[in-house]
Amino acid sequence: MIRFLARRLIFALLLVVTVSSGALFLTRLAPGDVTSNLGAFARPEEVARMRARFDLDRSAAAQWGGWALRAIRFDFGDSFLYNRPVGGLIQRAAGNTAVLAVAALSLATLLGIPLGIISGSRRGFAPALIRGASLVCLSIPPLLTSLLLVFVASRTGWLPAGGMTSVSAVDAGWPSWVLDVARHLPLPAVALALPIAATFERLQAQSMTETIHQPFVIAALARGVTWDRAVIGHAWRASLRSMCAIYGLAIGALLSGSFVVEYVTAWPGLGRLMFEALRARDIYLVAGCAAMGGVFLAIGSVTADLLLFAADPRVREGQTT
Amino acid sequence: MKDAGRALLVVIVLVAIAAPWLAPNPPDRQFNDFFYAPPTAVHVFEGGLQAPYFYPLRIVSRLERRFEEVRDRPIRIEWFGRGHLLGVDPSESAPLLLLGADSYGRDIFSRLLFGARASLGLAALATLAAMIFGAAIGGIAGYAGGAIDELLSRLSDFVLVLPATYVVLALRAVMPLVLPARTVFVLLAGIFALVGWPVVARGVRGIIASEREREYIAAGRAAGASPMRLLAKHLMPAAHGYLATQATLLLPAFILAEATLSYVGLGFPDTVPTWGTMLHDASNVAMLGEAPWMLAPAAAIFLVVLAVNLLVQGSGRSPVQLEP
């Protein structure tokens, strides 16, 4: 297991380095650079100073070298847009995205897994209803759910239609700040969670139907184990293996979806920050965001592996990897 | 379920093809005084069934964008006139706006139909490119095996790990932001194909790798068939079913990718009607609450994705596609 984990960690590290370096080079090679934000009437010496500040006067390789050396010491350079070190900006945005992603993933799990167990192990009206609902939810990607929810919110006023905090709550101390964020969170979280919950439901239902006909479940039923216990205790445990693999993939979907949701609902997360940075050619901010995205991906895939270890004794004993 | 999905998809494609004939108005015609106008209510019943007609709208308050129907002058809807399925005499005081008008006073229904051409066309082109690219790489990896297989598989695995939206976003954002529509079309198709091929390649590789051990390939090799011929003529047919499923899954993903890019302002220019640029027009939250018909393209995208899901689920295959 240690060797396996070590290999995954090396892969994760490689991922972060490749993604952030790739983003750096891509931004560097793109037409136009950060100095175009200064406007057409900027003095030449000002442009030259800006280029020097962001190492644009050096070759791309030299810039990458300098950036990588500093990044090892957690100095990710400055942002042009915010005129601040990138590290702090990323930290805050990543925190916001993490709150959104964790909320959405929990919601998707709480909705998708139990419903999947029900629709996968039973017949009748309720499972058919669940199946239909999840088919509809599968067909509404986050772009549409968030637009729809924003529309509903702006129409009814039940929830704030965008943003993460209200202006009034910022200065009112942290308890009211937390309450305020909690009021803003449901809309983007639901928008992000619905399609993922539907996917979870479908996959759980499928693997449930498969495992429920396995000999060990039939044997358990023959021993006199009740239907519910056989479903939860035996069949579901065995179906967990394929679900864990999905969680690793879900992180990518969460990140992709969170960009759209953050953009539509004005949630100040990593996706929005990266988008702004890309448009302004804010090179170090782009690289920093990409690195953070890579970290998220790596955390996701390693967590999925750990879950797999915890859930499936066959993997623990090294029979399959 | 499968048939319903297929029928829905066929209808959508037919509508896109017949857009110039079906659309009552030119997609870029701006009707002044009809900014954010609500959908025209078509009447067919007044003291008995009648030919469809509607009452022209007149703006009452420009500030509040309030419209009222002019009750005394009904306008007849003409069928099969002027080379369109339906329309009104251009000299009439109000246009036929079946789904209302957008922020420039353009007919949303007509734009939706024309948008289907751009959105579906782009997605179809990108899907085709991704299929060809993916099948070629997957086929070579599966047939060659060894180091080539290892290298190509690692490459496609790496691209698969990345969140597709960000890759597309980053690749598009580093290009010049303002480009002519034609360039955008080709560029986006290229970018989408670049992101989409690994999914195809991985599946094809698995099929080819297991298929090449079969006797008929050994027989073909013994008969002197070249590897290229074996791959293209004898091995690829085994992957046809897989390719068909992947194509149906990639199509809505690319439609959505275009919508996302255009929504954030990195896709087509605003003047080109696509479902994405139309959604971009709906991004004004304050207006969205008052003009829900702006969300019509969202409904169109939903229908396409639903059709594909029905088709794929009905075939008993699971849509493991998690994004987008």
* pLDDT tens digit sequence for B107-156: 889 999 999 999 999 999 999 999 999 999 999 999 888 899 999 988 88
Lowest model confidence (mean pLDDT) among A43-47, A260-264, B147-151, B188-192: A43-47
Q: Give me the half-sphere count of Cα atoms (radius 13 Å) on the Cβ side of residue A71.
A: 21
DSSP A224-284: T--HHHIIIIIIIHHHHHHHHHHHHHHHHHHHHHHHHHHHHHT--SHHHHHHHHHHHT-HH
Return the residue of A nearest to B297 by Cα.
Answer: A144
Compute the distance between CA of residue B290 and CA of residue B159 in angstroms, rounded to an integer: 42
Which residues from B are below 8 Å from A when comparing CB atoms? 158, 161-166, 169-171, 173-177, 256, 259-260, 263-264, 279, 282-283, 285-286, 288-289, 292, 295, 298, 301-302, 305-306, 309-310, 313, 318-320, 322-324
* Beta pairing partners, A79: A84
Residues near B84 by Cβ (< 8 Å), separated by ≥ 6? B21, B22, B23, B24
* Beta pairing partners, B61: B66
pLDDT at B324: 43
Q: How confident is the model at residue B187 (pLDDT cuts 50, 70, 90)?
A: very high
A-B contacts at Cβ under 8 angstroms:
137
- Best B12, B175, B187, B264 residue to mutate vs chain A (most A CBs within 10 Å): B264
Q: Which residue has the higher pLDDT, B58 or B16?
A: B16
DSSP state of A159: S
Q: Which residue has the higher pLDDT, B317 or B36?
A: B36
User: A252, B164: Cβ pair inside 8 Å?
Assistant: yes
pLDDT at B49: 74
Residues near B281 by Cβ (< 8 Å), separated by ≥ 6? B102, B103, B270, B294
Q: What is the arithmetic mean of pLDDT over A62-69?
A: 87
pLDDT at A318: 62
Q: Which residue has the higher pLDDT, A305 or A294?
A: A294
**Mean pLDDT (chain A, rounded):** 84
Residue B316 backbone zone (phi > 0: left; psi -120 to 50: alpha; other: beta): left
Contacts of A140 in chain B (CB under 8 A): 302, 305
Contacts of B285 in chain A (CB under 8 A): 150, 154, 161-162
Contacts of A196 in chain B (CB under 8 A): 322
Exposed/middle/buried for B98, CB within 10 Å: 0-12, 13-18, 19+? buried
pLDDT at A183: 84
CB B237: neighbour CB atoms within 10 A? 10
Q: Where are the beta strands (DSSP E) in chain A?
A: 78-79, 84-85
pLDDT > 90? residue A27: no
Q: Do residues A2 and A310 touch, judged by C-beta distance below 8 A?
A: no
Alpha helices in chain B (DSSP H): 2-17, 19-22, 108-144, 146-161, 164-173, 181-211, 215-222, 227-229, 240-263, 275-281, 285-288, 296-314
Contacts of B306 in chain A (CB under 8 A): 135-136, 139
* Beta pairing partners, B75: B54
Return the residue of A nearest to B252 by Cα.
Answer: A139
- The closest CB to that of B324, out of A15, A148, A256, belongs to A256
User: B174, A301: Cβ pair inside 8 Å?
Assistant: no
Return the residue of B nearest to A193 by Cα.
Answer: B322
Per residue in A135-156, pLDDT (tens digit) is 888 888 888 888 888 888 888 8
* Percent of chain A residues past pLDDT 90, beyond the cut: 15
Q: How far is B123 from chain A (nearest CA, A)?
A: 16
Q: What is the arithmetic mean of pLDDT over A22-30?
A: 86
- The closest CB to that of A144, out of B173, B285, B298, belongs to B298
Return the residue of B nearest to A204 by Cα.
Answer: B318
Compute the distance between CA of residue B310 and CA of residue A133 in angstroms, rounded to an integer: 12
pLDDT > 60? residue B322: no
pLDDT at B315: 63
Per residue in B254-297, pLDDT (tens digit) is 998 999 999 888 888 888 899 999 988 887 766 777 788 888 99
Q: Do residues A154 and B285 touch, judged by C-beta distance below 8 A?
A: yes
Q: Which residue has the higher pLDDT, A83 or B302?
A: B302
pLDDT at B316: 55
Q: What is the arithmetic mean of pLDDT over B180-208?
A: 90
Please report where in the chains the tokens 């670049």 appear, as a residue.
B194
Per residue in B67-112, pLDDT (tens digit) is 888 877 778 787 777 777 877 777 777 788 888 888 888 888 999 9
Q: What is the arithmetic mean of pLDDT over A286-307?
A: 86
- The closest CB to that of B161, out of A252, A260, A264, belongs to A252
User: B295, A151: Cβ pair inside 8 Å?
Assistant: yes
Q: How far is B179 from chain A (nearest CA, A)?
A: 13
**Mean pLDDT (chain B, rounded):** 85
Compute the distance between CA of residue B22 and CA of residue B319 in angstroms, rounded to an integer: 33
pLDDT at A189: 92
pTM of full prediction above 0.90: no
* Percent of chain A residues past pLDDT 70, beyond the cut: 96
pLDDT > 80? residue A1: no
Return the residue of B nearest to A141 by Cα.
Answer: B324
Compute the distance between CA of residue A92 and CA of residue B198 in angstroms, rounded to an integer: 33
Say what the ipTM of the complex is.
Answer: 0.83
- The closest CB to that of B322, out of A18, A23, A199, belongs to A199
Compute the distance between CA of residue B61 and CA of residue B63 in angstroms, rounded to an integer: 5
pLDDT at B314: 66
Could you tell me the strand order of the sheet in which B43-45 lies?
B43-45, B49-54, B75-76
pLDDT at B11: 93
- The closest CB to that of A148, out of B163, B298, B306, belongs to B298
Per residue in B37-65, pLDDT (tens digit) is 888 888 887 777 777 888 888 888 877 77
SS3 assignment, position A136:
helix
